[in-house]
Structure 1
Amino acid sequence: MRTLLFSLLTVTALLGTGQSQAQQTPAAVTDSAAAPIVPLATGAATDVIVRTNGDELPARVLRITPQLVRYLPLPPATDSLGRATAADTLQLAAADVFMVRFANGTREVLRATSAPAPGTSLVGLSTAQRTALGRQDSRKYYKPDKGVFWGTFGATVATFYGGPIVGGAIALTPPKRYNLDAPQPDLLNDPAYYDGYRRQAQSRKLGKAAAGLGLGAGTLVVLTSVLFVILLSSTTHF
C-alpha cells in the first residue's frame, strides 16, 4: 500500500513539472520574436558639421576647401518602399562652418580669412601685411606704462628675487586695448592689425621689465659693494 501511494505521488510531481515547462515555452518564443525589433547599427560613419550659429549637421563630409565644405546628408533619403536612394552632394560656405567633427574622433576647425576693416588704410593689404603694419605702428606709438620699469626695478633692489617675479607678472600680462595708443583706433578693429600691434606691445613691455631687472640688479650690486667697503673700513679702524 505504501509502495502504491509513493508511486502516485511521484507520477503527480512529474506531471506538474511537465506542465510548468510547457507554460514557460511560449514566453521564450515571444522574447525571441521581439528581438528583431531592436534597430541594428548600420555601420555608416557619421561626421558632424558644426556651423557658426551653433547648429550641428550630421553628414558624411566628402571634401573641405578654403571656400566650401562638400558633404552627403544623413540619414540618406529613401523611396516609397523604404529603400535608400542616391543622395545629391550638398555644400556649405566655409565661412558658415566653425568645425567638422569626423567619425574617427578627429576635428578640423575652419577659420575664414579675415577681411580688412572697411574705410581704413588697410584696404588692399594682405593679412601678413596688415600684421606687419600693426607691429610697425606699435613700435612707433605704443609707450609701456612707467610702472613696468620702476616696479621691476624696485622689487629687484628690495629683495632681488622679487624682481623676476614682479617683472614676469607685469610683462606677461597683455596690454589693455585702451592703452595701446594706436594712431587710428579704428585700425584695431582689424584682427590682423590688432594681433600684430598687441604682440609687439607686449614685447616692448617685456623689454622694459628686463631693463628694470638689469638696472635693479646692477644697483643692488653697487649698494652691496658700498656697504661691504664701509663695513670693512669700520673694522679696520677698530
Structure 2
Amino acid sequence: MTDFSDEASLPHLPPLLPIFPLDGAVLLPHGHLPLHVFEHRYRAMVEAALGLGRMIGMIQPRQVETHPIPDDAPIFEVGCAGRIVSFSETDDGRFLITLKGICRFRVADELPLGDQPFRRVHPDFSPYLIDLETAAEPSLDRARLLAAAKAYLQAKSIACEWSAVEAASIPAIVTSLAMICPFETGEKQALLESRSLTDQGNMLISLFEMALIENESGVTGLLH
C-alpha cells in the first residue's frame, strides 16, 4: 500500500475535478473515506487522479434507480473534494483507496464525457474555503451528542469502539458519525451542506433523536 498521509495537507484546489457519484456516501472536510474501486470507469478515474494531484470529488446522485449508476444520472450541486492519502491494488486490478476530505465545492458545470469514461466538473470552491482551516471546537452539548449517538448506534446494531469515540474531539466525532451513519440520501446531503460544524452537530443530534423516537413508536405500535 502506498501511504501519502505524511505529505503536505493543503493541496492545490484544481479547476477540473473527476467526480465519483455514490449514493449514501458523503465525504466531509477532514474526514477519511475508504473506498473499494472495481468498476472500469472508476479505476480509470483513480489512475487519472493519481497523476493529477490525487484529487477526486465525492458527490451523491439525486436518484438511483439502477446499478451501476448511469453516466447521465442527475447529481446534487454540492460535493466534497478528497485527496487520495493511501492506495493499494489487488491482484485482480481492484483499487483500495482512502480519501481525506479537503474542501466542499459547488458544481459550476459538467464537462461532456469525451474520451474519458468518468465524469468531470468545474468545481467552485469559493463558498467553502473555510474548510481549509483547522476545524474549530463547535458550540455543542457534548454529553447530549454522545448519549444520542450511543443510543442510535445500539438501536441500529452498529459496532463501534465507544472508548475511542469518547476520547475524540467533537469535530472528529461529528465528522465521523455524519459519514458512517446510515441516514437517508437527503439527510446526508443536508449534513454535508451545513454552514458550520456547530450546525452539522446540532443536525446530527436531531437526526439521532428523531430516529430513536421513530424506532420506539414502531415498537410500541407493534405491541398494541
Q: TM-score, normalised by structure 2?
A: 0.24
- Determine which structure has more spread, i.e. the larger CA radius of gyration: 1
Which structure's residues are more often strand, by fraction? 2
Higher RCO by CA contacts (8 Å cutoff, separation 6 or greater): 2
TM-score (structure 1 length as normaliser): 0.23
